[in-house]
Amino acid sequence: MTKDEITQWALANGWQMMDGFPSLTKPSAPYPAIVRLVLKATVASIEIKKPAGKWEKVAGESYGKITADPETGMPGGLGLATISGLTLLMQSNKDRQMMARMGGMKG
């Protein structure tokens, strides 16, 4: 997958751009980000914000080794499905975005 493909997947699956990175937030606090995808020239990595405020890299891989899951499109090779709580956090962020869009639609 390319940087653009990963970004498109992330934004379609509950991530939002914050401070220049596709990011996830706590369900109870839409800011600041607590997880972010750092997409550099040749590698993508996942970073989680520690309570002290520093970002810690928890996974990373070169774009050439990241492939989309044929069923979900989820980028494989970054550990997105195996990092504890990340799938639930993505779903929570996606649900919150959908509810915000629905709340903004007045008929």
pLDDT at residue 30, as a whole number: 77
More confident call, 4 vs 101: 4
Question: Which run of H or of E encompasses 34?
Answer: strand 29-39
Q: Tell me the pLDDT tens digit for each residue of 15-72.
A: 999 999 999 999 887 789 999 999 999 999 999 999 899 999 999 999 999 999 999 8
pLDDT band at residue 3 under the 50/70/90 scheme: very high
Cβ atoms of residues 68 and 35 within 8 Å: no
Under the banding of pLDDT at 50, 70 and 90, the label for residue 11 is very high
Q: Which tokens go with 19?
A: 């401070």
Q: What is the pLDDT of residue 8?
A: 96
Q: Which residue in this structure is represented by tokens 């996830």?
A: 24
**End-to-end CA separation in angstroms for the chain:** 39
